[in-house]
Amino acid sequence: WNVTARTGQPHVKKYVEERELTVMLVVDASGSGDFASQGRFKRELAAELASVLSFSATTNKDKVGLLIFTDKVELYIPP
């Protein structure tokens, strides 16, 4: 309001909200990952997809965590 009164022109302030998301990748590493279609195992595809999603999230400065499981939790990396 003071800037508008001083300059005689409307002053608009743009606000860009800073946001930080938390991404949790949950990957099934059970025996079903040994199934292959078109020469690619499900396990390989899951690993590639998790790495691409992780890269995308970290590029946006988001937190990334990972949970790999079979019939139990094999690996947990908190975000």
Count the domains in the chain. 1
Which H or E element spans position 77? Answer: strand 73-77
Is 10 part of a structural domain of the chain? no
Q: Does residue 64 lie in a domain region? A: yes
What's the pLDDT band for 14 if we cut at 50, 70, 90?
confident
Range of the domain at 29: 16-77
Q: Per the domain annotation, does 1 fall within a domain?
A: no
β partners of residue 41: 36
Domain annotation covers residue 11: no
Condensed to tens digits (0 to 9), the pLDDT of residues 31-46 reads 887 787 778 888 899 9
Q: Model's pTM, two decimal places?
A: 0.68
